[in-house]
């Protein structure tokens, strides 16, 4: 089986999908109140690991904002994409909260 079959079993999650600073037209996929500002690829990977979601990291540029830092992960299609994005954003916010309190 080639790449085509594998891609059909994975969601692509860009950092821009979760970024509160981005408008919907620039790539944000979830409600602003649920999103988090300035999402880094490392945070996205940490959130997936904390949620027990296997992911493959790809350091690529988001096409609509190719000049900005970003990246994406590929995760298995185990739930709907909107639900997955909300869970990941909530986990990033939780991990950021823990990081601030421990310093």
> E strands within 1-103?
10-14, 56-58, 72-76
Q: Tell me, what DSSP letter sits at residue 25?
A: G
Supply the angle between the helices 41-50 and 81-102 in degrees, to the nearest 10: 100
Tokens matching residue 55: 């992911």
The pTM assigned to this predicted structure is 0.84
**Domain limits at 90?**
3-102
The pLDDT tens digits for 33-79 are: 999 999 999 999 999 999 999 999 998 988 888 888 889 999 999 99
Q: Are 58 and 11 in contact (CB under 8 A)?
A: no
Position 98 scores a pLDDT of 75
The pLDDT tens digits for 3-42 are: 555 557 899 999 999 999 999 998 899 999 999 999 999 9
What is the spatial distance between Cα 71 and Cα 73, in angstroms, rounded to a whole number?
7
- The domain that contains 77 carries what CATH number? 3.30.56.30
Q: What is the number of other CB atoms lying within 10 angstroms of the CB of residue 20?
A: 17
């Amino acid at each position: 089986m080639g790449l085509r079959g594998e891609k059909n079993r994975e969601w692509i999650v860009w950092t821009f999908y979760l970024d509160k600073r981005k408008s919907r037209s620039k790539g944000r996929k979830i409600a602003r109140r649920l999103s988090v500002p300035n999402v880094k690829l490392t945070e996205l990977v940490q959130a997936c690991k904390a949620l027990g979601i296997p992911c493959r990291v790809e350091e690529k540029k988001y096409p609509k904002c190719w000049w900005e830092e970003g990246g994406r992960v590929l995760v298995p299609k185990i739930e709907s994409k909107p639900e997955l994005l909300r869970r990941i954003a909530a986990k990033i916010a939780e991990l950021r909260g823990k990081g601030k309190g421990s310093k």
